[in-house]
Structure 1
Amino acid sequence: MQIESLSKSNYPDVANIYQQGISTGIATFETKVPGWEDWDKSHLPYGRLVAVEGNTVLGWAALSPVSSRCVYGGVAEVSIYLAEQARGKGIGKQLLNALIAASEENGIWTLQAGVFPMNKASIALHEKCGFRMIGYKERIGQLNGQWIDNILLERRSKIVGI
């Protein structure tokens, strides 16, 4: 397995994995996968990674800005999704650690993640990679008519912004 840069050419596989995450009902408030142009605009130009084995994309991770205000330029939100067949095999940890390294190479001092409380695997993955729970947003959004909380996780760099 290799970690590579995510590009437009592998976006169909990325979109398929994103749809698998949406279908679980525990990964995101999104209900449909955006097209490449919208996805591209909403993510930072760096920190876009795919885990690939052979010609198969097993997962993806990317960074999004948390704000357009310059003071938050060193803060990014993490997205990470794994294909159904890749879950529970340590691929997520390799992918998230690579994303952390890419974020620090680009001056990011704080990574944030918002995770549904029922997504225990994602919470555990983030904690294994140095994130800590800092709180939650109660009933922050609805999915399929159900109010859902969002657990807030944060990772502060030990090399950037200290």
Structure 2
Amino acid sequence: MLITPMTAAHWPAVKAIYEAGIATGNATFETQAPAWDAWDKAHLGHSRLVAVDAAGAVLGWAALSPVSSRCVYGGVAELSIYVGTEARGQGVGRQLLQALIADSEAHGIWTLQAGTFAENTASIGLHTQAGFRVVGYRERIGRHHGVWRNTVQLERRSPSIGTA
């Protein structure tokens, strides 16, 4: 497996993995994947990664979104990470998240945050194993297919950025 920067050429595979995550009902409040242009505008230009196998097939992806347009939050980003159905349980998510952390820090991000449905224990476990801590629980934060959902908020602070 190789982790490499995501390009527009990866979008069809990235979108398919995102749609599979959406279909689980426990990955996101979104109900459909956006077009590339909308996705591209919503995410930071750096720290967009894909994991590919030896044949070049995309196994998973990770990317960052800004949490605010205010300059004081310029080093804070929300992450998204999705692993293809066939690649789950093989360490793809762990390696993608480790690479995303390193890349985000190389770009001056001092805090990564993630919000996940409370039922998504695999995602919560992935994040906590990577050094994220649970910082909150948002009850009935939004409706998903007509049902109120709760989310767990996780955060990871860089040990090397923003400590001085």
* TM-score band w.r.t. shorter chain: over 0.9
Equivalence for 2:25: 25
CA RMSD, Structure 1 to Structure 2 (Å)? 0.5
Q: Distance in 2 between matches of 1:153 and 1:92?
A: 16
Give how far 1:137 is off. 1.1
Q: Distance in 1 between matches of 2:87 and 2:161?
A: 31
Structure 2 length-normalised TM: 0.98
Equivalence for 1:15: 15
Equivalence for 2:137: 136
Equivalence for 1:145: 146
Q: Distance in 2 between matches of 1:9 and 1:135?
A: 37
Equivalence for 1:159: 160
Give how far 1:136 is off. 1.2
Equivalence for 2:124: 123
Amino acid at match of 1:41: K
Equivalence for 2:111: 110
Q: Distance in 1 between matches of 2:161 and 2:135?
A: 20
How many residue pairs match? The answer is: 162
CA deviation vs aligned residue, 1:2-56 (integer Å, no higher than 9, x gap): 0011010010000000000000000000000000000000000000000000221
Q: Is 1:39 aligned with 2:39?
A: yes
Amino acid at match of 2:94: K
CA deviation vs aligned residue, 1:37-76 (integer Å, no higher than 9, x gap): 0000000000000000022100000000000000000000
Q: Is 1:4 aligned with 2:9?
A: no
CA deviation vs aligned residue, 1:71-107 (integer Å, no higher than 9, x gap): 0000000100000001111110000000000100000
Amino acid at match of 1:160: I
Gapped regions of structure 1 (runs ≥ 5): none
Amino acid at match of 1:155: R
Equivalence for 1:48: 48
Q: Distance in 2 between matches of 1:152 and 1:139?
A: 13
Q: Distance in 1 between matches of 2:70 and 2:106?
A: 21
CA deviation vs aligned residue, 1:138-160 (integer Å, no higher than 9, x gap): 10111111000110000000011
3-state SS in 2 of match to 1:3: strand
Q: Distance in 2 between matches of 1:150 and 1:70?
A: 26
Structure 1 length-normalised TM: 0.99
Q: Distance in 2 between matches of 1:47 and 1:161?
A: 19
